[in-house]
Amino acid sequence: MRKKRLIIRCIIAFCIVLLIPFLGGQYMLDYSLKPENRGRDLDSSWQYMFEEYPYLSFWKDSLEKAGALKDTFIYSPDGVKLHSYFVPASDETKKTALIVHGYTDNAIRMMMIGYMYNKKLGFNILIPDLRNSGLSGGNSIQMGWLDRIDVRQWMDVTNSMFGDSTEMVLHGISMGAATVMMESGDPQPKYVKCFVEDCGYTSVWDEFKLQLNDEFGLPSFPILDAANILCQMEYGWNFKEASALNQVAKCKLPMFFIHGDGDTYVPTSMVYKLYETKAAPKELWIVPGAKHAMSYYDYTEEYTKRVKTFVDKYIR
């Protein structure tokens, strides 16, 4: 009888020990993919952008007066309603930029890059809200891996929208940069000419491992492993397959890597791995003193000049 009780207690203890990592993993998964999301607050996003980039207020007003700032909606194959802003160039052109925002951001918070391409470089632009951001549907952030599929759909929509003969650059920042890199490794339509990635991470696993340590002081095992399994079960993908590093290794088109040397959120060391993995043609700019996603803000003129020099080689 005592032996039987001991066995039962051991089984219960084992189940508890096994359960704890998965409870922690579920918390981490929800914390990461269903965070408090500023990307849903459109009014505060516009206010923030006007404060940080005052010229955007005048640009937005001029676009609205001309009826040039337009919304478009599509449905993904799995039935999620997706939104994007698009703006045609002031002069008819086939040059087009598809611009992808970062984690807990939205299309509005990428309008400074939209301004650069549209106002300064004369491009048509399309800036989508990724899932669970802005006016797009979805109840979770997908860290770029499944987002790349939505971006691919937007690429085709954009090409049709601007005359079915575009020459396109994909430009992303932070998670948007990871999205762009993850997309870059898949077969590309002929209208895609090059990519610009600004401070993207090597993989979701690497980034979550870093943040688990930085925010909570915890090692990756066993919580990250448990969260990885739960993500596969709940969303159909896992942190390790969501690898920009693996995808850029397959990318054959030109890519411009930008990263601030003051970035600790996505450490600068990641861009060196990405750059080394990518075959030529490629270019790298390490931005002095810039923290995460601040390279354009800190070096607006140089950023614009360098992006123009890069894209002009492949889009004319």
pLDDT in tens for each of the 316 residues of the chain? 555 554 544 444 344 444 566 688 899 999 999 998 899 999 999 999 999 999 999 999 999 999 999 999 999 999 999 999 999 999 999 999 999 999 999 999 999 999 999 999 999 999 999 999 999 999 999 999 999 999 999 999 999 987 788 999 999 999 999 999 999 999 999 999 999 999 999 999 999 999 999 988 888 889 999 999 999 999 999 999 999 999 999 999 999 999 999 999 999 999 999 999 999 999 999 999 999 999 999 999 999 999 999 999 999 8
DSSP code, position 165: -
What is the β-pairing status of strands 81-87 and 70-75?
A: antiparallel
> What count of other Cβ atoms lies within 10 Å of the Cβ of residue 289?
11
Quick check: 85 and 98 in contact, CB under 8 A? no
Quick check: 141 and 67 in contact, CB under 8 A? no
What's residue 165's pLDDT?
A: 85
- Residue pointed to by tokens 């891996």: 145
Burial label, 30 (beta-carbon count in 10 A; 0-12, 13-18, 19+): middle
Dist CA 180 CA 164 (whole Å)? 21
What's residue 260's pLDDT?
A: 98
Quick check: 271 and 286 in contact, CB under 8 A? yes
What's residue 163's pLDDT?
A: 79
Dist CA 262 CA 306 (whole Å)? 19
What's residue 10's pLDDT?
A: 43
Reduce the DSSP state of residue 126 to 3 states and report it. strand
Q: How far is CA 269 from CA 32, 69, 175, 225, 249, in A?
A: 22, 38, 16, 23, 17
Rg (the chain; Cα; Å): 21
Dist CA 168 CA 163 (whole Å)? 12
What's residue 268's pLDDT?
A: 98
Single out the residue of 84, 108, 106 nearest to residue 96, CA to CA. Answer: 84
- The three-point CA angle 76-239-109 to 5° equals 55
Quick check: 225 and 208 in contact, CB under 8 A? no
- Looking at residue 266, its amino acid is V
> What count of other Cβ atoms lies within 10 Å of the Cβ of residue 278?
27
- Looking at residue 8, its amino acid is I
Burial label, 26 (beta-carbon count in 10 A; 0-12, 13-18, 19+): middle
What's residue 6's pLDDT?
A: 46
Quick check: 169 and 196 in contact, CB under 8 A? yes
